[in-house]
Chain A
């Protein structure tokens, strides 16, 4: 039966003699039972003499206490190879037990646990591998965590760097934007500065041009003034020559008069342009007869046209209103200028003044006055320049045709002030057409009938000054004589004072005998000027009419005189008719009041 169990079994008797050796042991050891039995086991396996085996066997024999020999501590009880080809010994667990004392018997049971040992070894190695792997994983995880921590730190650092870089970029962007904005502003400033420079350059050029024009103008004025002045003084000297015939004297007087008129025209033009530029020129709106104005100008200029062998025609395109509201003086001035130019620049042919009317509204209409000549014409490039002040088409024009170069500039500005335009259509060699348009108020027939007789300024006539007493106050003997001459011819009585103080004395004295009806007061005088004298007169409650006569024809002079107490204002040179009519007017009021 022992042969059937897969356990190596042997039974020892006294002295360790083998009594039983089962088949399993035979198979394992290759030792047949008949060779093992009756032999001491330590003879068969001397390794059992080692104390760790021997003592245990001895104890079992002596005490009967069983012994268990583990595979771990002993490996093998008998050195049995696992198989024939392997040097590995069978791993065994051995149990030693005394099964009988009489006779003494010890049973040895040997179990082959090689497979279990290998499995255990494998399991342990696997487990160790797992542990190593786990440890490696833990280390890796730790490293990863450290790496992650490091990476995290790096990330945080990177984040900080990114944030810092973002901040720096933002700051850079902001500064760049500021720079761009500054650059833009600088560019704009530069542009403005460049524009300013251009404007200043243009202004300077204009100023230089204006200065140049004014210099040229002054040169022209000098020439224009000197020319008539030379004629006047020359012919005046001629009049003083003895033996001059009456005929020559008469020609000389006419020449002096003509040059004097020209000189006056120049001065008037200068004053007009000055007033216009100073904004002091005012435009009246009074009932005016277009026909009368056109006819007056035609009559005025007819002599000049005739002198040049030209026909001066008038064309009134009907229907023309009888009266319109406009400034007849300025209208006449422009028309005279245009007609004079047309005559001046036309060598042959004719000059035509054409008037036409267009209703615009129930209260207004457009008056168009064309001056058409067959003269030299004006080149295209000169058309705009001729309207600029202080300039003429060409400098030689002045020398050839005379004139101040202000006429057209004055005329165009007056046209604008009257609500119209002044344009030119011209062809060189064929003639020019200057067209003046003026916006006028319409006057119905009913309104026309209500107008007082003789209200047209152009029809005013000087009255006789008989029985009027006039005081001439002027420090210039020439003016004293001229005024005296006109007053004497008009039948007035007069006295002369050389300055304001004498005038006040004479006026005061006259009140006791024969008071003056009118005082002609020069404003610039020594001792006591006209302003002070008039103020003192008014301060003394003396209301004797005072007519200021001054060479100060500039803007503001009239108001200055009136503010001082003067009743009227006349400018030198004296227009005889206006002088006499003004004296007559104020004299009549004085007489009526008295």
Chain B
């Protein structure tokens, strides 16, 4: 296994985690309101890695992004920053969450129209909330595409942007708690080159006491082998 080749500055990491947590908190409120019962959403830690860096399993629970069949809701955004946001579930988690939120008495073992609609809406709410939080806290202007649901194959290829610029991948484990059941998902947001720096700097500025301090938050340490991997190719464990 290859260790992550970069590490985020702790302050930047905390900032990003906070921003995402705000977003998922709003999403939890929206979901609770929607389904008429309490839905909790937590994001323990956010990781940020260069997209060309080999992905660590530790940052991709159950190998969700790179392995196997998963269900993912994808929504692009553009504006001050641009990128692609996603909320992914393992198939079993997707079904569990869909069946929990559905008022149907019949459970399903397939991501059918109903479960797919639920997951699409849940993903739409969570992604809107997270992106909305980032946008608000960093004073960004964003436009969003309609969300799309995919339930066949690994997530990561669908996240890859068309451009070949230096990009970052924000990865966060998201844990849904519904009816005393914990369901794990993964929030993954690809930011185009420079977007993370802009995001962090603006957010830092807004969160600074005087509102003007710009803190160079993004300091990453590179390790050997990072540039040996051709651009656009997915690393494999």
Interface size on A, residues (CB 8 A): 28
B125-147 vs A, Cβ < 8 Å mask (1 yes, 0 no)? 00010011001000000111111
In angstroms, Cα B154 to Cα A557, docked, is 141
* A51 interfacial by beta-carbon distance below 8 Å: yes
Q: Chain A interface: which of B5-13, B28-36, B210-218?
A: B28-36
Which of chain A's residues have a CB closer than 8 A to the CB of B128? 59, 63, 65-67
Q: Chain B interface: which of A69-77, A349-357, A474-482, A585-593?
A: A69-77
* B183 interfacial by beta-carbon distance below 8 Å: no
A-B pairs with beta carbons under 8 A, tally: 75
Name the one of B103, B114, B121, B124 contacting A120, with C-beta atoms under 8 angstroms: B114
Q: Report yes or no: A63 in contact with B135, Cβ–Cβ below 8 A.
A: yes
Q: Report yes or no: A72 in contact with B106, Cβ–Cβ below 8 A.
A: no
Interface size on B, residues (CB 8 A): 30
* A52 interfacial by beta-carbon distance below 8 Å: yes
* B156 interfacial by beta-carbon distance below 8 Å: no
Q: Chain B interface: which of A124-132, A180-188, A249-257, A327-335?
A: A124-132
In angstroms, Cα B128 to Cα A64, docked, is 10
Q: Is the interface of B mostly helix, strand, loop or mixed?
A: helix
* B104 interfacial by beta-carbon distance below 8 Å: yes
* B152 interfacial by beta-carbon distance below 8 Å: no
With A51-B33, A68-B147 as contacts: A113 and B106 at CB distance below 8 Å: no
Residue on A with the closest CB to B109?
A127
* B101 interfacial by beta-carbon distance below 8 Å: yes
* B118 interfacial by beta-carbon distance below 8 Å: yes
Q: Report yes or no: A124 in contact with B106, Cβ–Cβ below 8 A.
A: yes
Least Cβ–Cβ distance between B130 and chain A, in angstroms: 10
Q: Report yes or no: A65 in contact with B118, Cβ–Cβ below 8 A.
A: no
In angstroms, Cα B147 to Cα A93, docked, is 13
Name the one of B34, B131, B144 contacting A52, with C-beta atoms under 8 angstroms: B34
Name A80-132 residues within 8 Å CB distance of B. Answer: 93, 95, 97, 113, 116-117, 120, 123-125, 127-128
Q: Is the interface of A mostly helix, strand, loop or mixed?
A: helix
Q: Report yes or no: A63 in contact with B132, Cβ–Cβ below 8 A.
A: yes
B residues contacting A by CB (< 8 A) are 30, 33-35, 98, 101-104, 106, 108, 112-115, 117-118, 120-121, 124, 128, 131-132, 135, 142-147
Q: List 17 A-B contacts (CB under 8 A).
A: A55-B33, A56-B30, A65-B132, A67-B124, A68-B147, A69-B121, A70-B114, A70-B117, A72-B102, A72-B103, A73-B121, A93-B117, A123-B112, A124-B104, A124-B106, A124-B108, A124-B112
Known A65-B128, A72-B121, A73-B118; further 20 A-B contacts with Cβ < 8 A: A55-B33, A63-B135, A65-B144, A66-B145, A66-B146, A67-B128, A70-B117, A70-B118, A70-B120, A70-B121, A72-B104, A73-B117, A73-B121, A116-B113, A120-B112, A120-B113, A120-B114, A123-B112, A124-B106, A128-B106
Which 8 A-B residue pairings sit nearest by Cβ, starting from the closest? A70-B117, A65-B128, A70-B121, A124-B106, A72-B114, A68-B124, A72-B118, A72-B117
